[in-house]
Amino acid sequence: MTSNLRNKIVVSGIRSTGKLHLGNYHGALKQWLSMQDKYTCFFFAADLHGLTTNYATAGDIPVNTRTMVEDWLAAGLDHENCCIFVQSDVPEHSELHLLFSMFTPLSWLERIPTYKDQQAKLSDKDLSTYGFLGYPLLQAADVLLYNADLVPVGEDQLAHLELVRKIARRFNFLYGNSPSFEAEINTIMDSIDKKQAKKLRTLKRDYQQKGLSVALENATRLTANLGLEQGMQDSLCSYVAGTGKTIINLPEPLLSVTPKLPGTDGQKMSKSYNNTIALTEAEPDVRKKIKSMPTDPARVKRTDPGEPSKCPVWELHKVYANSEIKDWVINGCRTAKIGCIDCKSVLADSIVKEQAPIIERSKDYRDNPIVDKILSKGAERARDTATTTLRKLKLVMHSRDN
């Protein structure tokens, strides 16, 4: 079972805009930790993605990248078990992004909800840039360079993943319907029973001209029963569907189980909103930040009862507390038996407790040249795969000859 899953490729990144924060930890990193032993994983610090919003303070990005990777290692990401690297150390990401940009309709990018939302939310920055519009397209390059099967992401990234899939489909359609694909189809058709081949041609017509989706289903069933190897079956299905040969695999999102974590102001925790608690935040700062969080506005006085579902502090308890503490919060809040200060102090205890061993381990990595070694080895491994994929894609795009 395990060895089977090792064939599956997982790719994911975190923007390196600052220290790793609790939102990154619960939303992404914990999932990475659980995947690194099972799958073939590529995890990277998305420093170029950091540049899309922080181009004016680009000087901070290298330090942020480095610190973030140190935090990953301190939290238990194991470079022997997965490939850890920095996005910009693998220039193939940038090159593939450029090639993809040639056939990406602007409307696909403009329509992605995060584009307008983020521009509005980060109105202190000028994000009416080419690079920011291309943010999700760069993500497509990140993922497709490694032929990913699975991409662990948070809910806010689902629209980006949908774009990644659209780009892969469009690539296959544009460059998979080549003369060599036709020749391949003809060879397969010649090798199978004449009646079945004729049937497939009819199904293709029914699907592509009459739009009968049942024709595609029948074709899938028929090709599965011809005793052909999987690659040939896939090619026949692509032929019937008219989508072109599958040159790029369509990855699936793997939704993070943790809902988005609120930051100290109650909005989603994000470096861009300046509301984060770092994974390695010093204890007094954790306590201070939790204390400053907004609560259910109905609790004006200590004796006013509240409703946890209206309170961002509760959202954090949901991630951190055991069932006993959860009951204590729910009952105490609704009956005004506990005050928000008590409630927050228990939350801070749980956070501090989780952080302690990570902070301890992170000291081993600060300024340790081992991290440079890990990253250069990671980039080398990533480039092995990335250069091979890019070469293949450039060949079919005719942007190189061999």
Q: From ligand TRP, ligand SF4, none, which one binds at residue 218 (CB under 5 to 8 Å depending on kind)? A: none
Written as one string, the DSSP assignment of 55-70 is: GGGGGGHHHHHHHHHH
Binding mask 98-117 for ligand TRP (x = CB under 6 A): --------------------
* CA 377 to mean position of chain CA atoms: 22
CB of 296 to ligand SF4, least distance (A): 4
Contact predicate 311/300, CB 8 Å: no
Q: How far is the CB of 313 from ligand SF4 (least distance, A)?
A: 4
Considering the rule CB under 6 A, would residue 157 count as an interface residue with ligand TRP?
Answer: yes
CB-based contact 320:350 (threshold 8 Å): yes
Torsion of CA 332, 334, 339, 341, to 10 degrees: 90
**Interface residue with ligand TRP, options 9, 10, 13, 261 (CB under 6 A):** 13
Residue selected from 136, 263, 306, 378 as contacting ligand SF4 according to rule CB under 6 A:
306
| Residue selected from 142, 206, 281, 296 as contacting ligand TRP according to rule CB under 6 A | 142
The position carrying tokens 């290692």 is 73
Contact pattern for ligand TRP over residues 209 through 248, marking x by CB under 6 A: ----------------------------------------
Find tokens 């028929």 and name the residue. 222
* Cα–Cα nearest to 15, from 70, 59, 41, 53: 53
Beta partners for residue 197, in sequence order: none
- State which of residues 150, 151, 286, 393 lies at the interface with ligand TRP (CB under 6 A): 151
- Which one of the spans 60-68, 86-94, 106-114, 306-314 is the region binding ligand SF4 (CB under 6 A)? 306-314
Rounded to the nearest whole angstrom, what is the least distance from the CB of residue 263 to ligand SF4 in the complex? Answer: 15
Minimum CB distance to ligand TRP smaller for 140 or for 313: 140
Residue 46 in contact with ligand TRP, rule: CB under 6 A: yes
Strand partners, 40: 9
Beta strands 252-255; 40-46: pairing state: unpaired
Evaluate whether 42 touches 10 at the Cβ level (below 8 Å).
yes
> Least distance in Å: CB of 81 to ligand SF4?
39
Rounded distance between C-alpha atoms, residue 164 and residue 97, angstroms: 11
How many residues touch ligand TRP under the rule CB under 6 A: the total is 13
Residue 149 tokens, joined: 């099967």
Would you say 119 or 178 has its CB closer to ligand TRP? 119
The answer to whether 143 contacts ligand TRP (rule: CB under 6 A) is: yes
Instruction: Match 């914990």 to its residue by tokens.
Output: 30
Which span (50-58, 143-151, 178-186, 295-303) binds ligand SF4, by CB under 6 A? 295-303
Please state the three-class secondary structure of 220-261 as a single string.
HHHHHCCCCCHHHHHHHHHHHHCCCCCCCCCCEEEECCCCCC
Reading the block at residue 147, the tokens are 């032929």
Half-sphere exposure for 26 (CA within 13 Å, toward CB): 24
DSSP letter (8 states) at residue 27: I
Contacting residue, 197, 338, 358, 395, with ligand SF4 by CB under 6 A = 338
Q: Is 12 in the site for ligand TRP (CB under 6 A)?
A: yes
Up-side HSE of residue 80: CA atoms within 13 Å toward CB? Answer: 1
Which CB sits closer to ligand TRP, 43 or 181?
Answer: 43
Minimum CB distance to ligand SF4, residue 326 (Å) = 10
**Can residue 253 be called a binding residue for ligand TRP (CB under 6 A)?**
no
Q: Which of residues 343-362 bind ligand SF4 (CB under 6 A)?
A: 343-344
Q: Find the binder of ligand SF4 among 277, 340, 348, 379 (CB under 6 A).
A: 340
User: Does 295 engage in binding with ligand SF4 (CB under 6 A)?
Assistant: yes
How close are the terminal C-alpha atoms of the chain, in Å?
38
Determine, following the binding rule CB under 6 A, whether residue 308 of this chain makes contact with ligand SF4: yes
Nearer to ligand SF4, 310 or 391 (CB): 310
Contact 386, 83 (CB under 8 A): no
Distances (CA, A) of 181 to 2, 171, 178, 399: 34, 14, 5, 18
Among 333, 348, 374, 390, binds ligand SF4 (CB under 6 A): 333
Q: Which lies closer to ligand TRP via its Cβ, residue 252 or residue 307?
A: 252
